[in-house]
Amino acid sequence: MGSPFARFDWETRLYLAAHPVAYPLLRGLARLGPVVRVPGVGVVVNDAHHARDVLMDGETFRKDGPGSPGELWTPVLGPSVLLNMEGDAHRALRRRLTGLFAPGYAESLVDDVLAVPLRDVSDRLARGEEVDVVALMRVMAGAVISRVIGLETASEHDYRALFEAGERIVSMISLRTRRLTPSQIARARAVLNPLGDIAAQAYAEGSPSTVMGRMRTLGLTESEARGAAGAFFLTGTETVATLVPRLIALLHDTGTMDAPDLDRAIDEAMRVTTPTPVMLRSVHAETRIADVAVGPGDRVLIATSNCCRAYGPFDPSRPTPPELRRLWFGAGPHFCLGYPLALAETRAVGRALLAAGPLTITHRTAARGVLIPTYRHLRVRRGEENAR
């Protein structure tokens, strides 16, 4: 069994490598109370109960005002992409998209895209070869999002390039970013516009076997489908690609590689790694969060990482409290629409890797200059040797 300190050490290293200044400050805020007003930042929520209350109230706490995600992404993705909508328009679009990634469809899509490459990975591990889980996930995530957008390619080079293009956009964002600069917006559009054209072509063809074709069947306009494709591209690649290496590392370091309930282990890994370290909302009416008064124009920063890490170290055997249930994917009207797809992809890759075990980590390094903390390399192979 791995040292109990290895888990804490590596997860902390990942956060510090990604955010050497912001992360210690964020963790320091957790000691100031469940809700605290911080000059220059906004009202910071460190408690899962209060975080869920904020997320459930889409009328008072919105994504389309100053300091919200809408201010960040609307110049890049357009006005109608769920990420930046509220009210009747958001509810209407959300209803049309509800069945887009139904669990059965998501599992079928992932199995179709990843079955062959996962067999190849299993064969490599069976032969005693090393596999870099980070490099593997860049290809896997690129392959799945290619299918979602409608990109016709079967090249690992293209999948990797697609992932890296999304990574360049997301890396423009830090925990302190309120809005993109004109040059950043131009760079993001240079990547997203060609992908939008591909998505629009798949939409026009209207095949029910494609995600874009299904959007047309569900009644979305071409503009809405393009925007949704861009949003899925930005939010649906790094989340899974960063999670799987950390999941494998957590299971390895805590001696729980043989965890019988993979879905439970995935949920617990998501809690610890928190794919969305912070969430932003703009206040549109006077109210209170705990004992802190807020009003129109206030910015609320939900410190999701603090909310989730308050419940202790990685332990797949421990039930998740109701207030924490998938909080890392949001709650209420903006709960992540792509959650079933993310779970299906994580489950497929995790199952294949764990079935090839027992695995040992032979080498790992932390990634720097990224928004979501992750590994730069995480190499594994079959065997019981000690990790470096």
Please say if the pLDDT value at position 51 is more than 90: yes
What digits encode the pLDDT tens for the residues 94-145?
888 888 888 999 999 999 999 999 999 999 999 999 999 999 999 999 899 8
Question: How far is CA 158 from each of CA 118, 142, 339, 344, 374, rounded to the nearest angstrom?
Answer: 18, 8, 25, 22, 22
pLDDT band per the 50, 70, 90 thresholds, residue 67:
low
Question: How far is the C-alpha of 382 from the C-alpha of 201, rounded, in Å?
Answer: 44
What digits encode the pLDDT tens for the residues 6-26?
444 899 999 999 999 989 999
Mean pLDDT of 232-261: 88
Query: Among 206-215, 263-272, 323-332, 364-373, which is the least confidently predicted range?
Result: 206-215
Percent of the chain with pLDDT over 90: 48
Type of residue at 72: L
Strand partners, 37: 43
Residue 2 is predicted with a pLDDT of 43
- The beta strand positions in 103-261, using DSSP E, are 131-132
pLDDT band per the 50, 70, 90 thresholds, residue 82:
low
pLDDT band per the 50, 70, 90 thresholds, residue 369:
confident
Domains and CATH numbers, the chain: 4-33+41-382 (1.10.630.10)
Which residue has better confidence, 249 or 69?
Answer: 249
Overall pTM > 0.75:
yes
Radius of gyration of the chain (CA): 20
Can you tell me which residue has the tokens 């924490």? 324
Please say if the pLDDT value at position 353 is more than 90: yes
Please say if the pLDDT value at position 322 is more than 70: yes
Rounded to 5°, angle at Cα 361 from 355 and 366? 125
Phi/psi of residue 211, nearest 5 degrees: -65, -40
User: For all residues of the chain together, what is the average pLDDT?
Assistant: 87
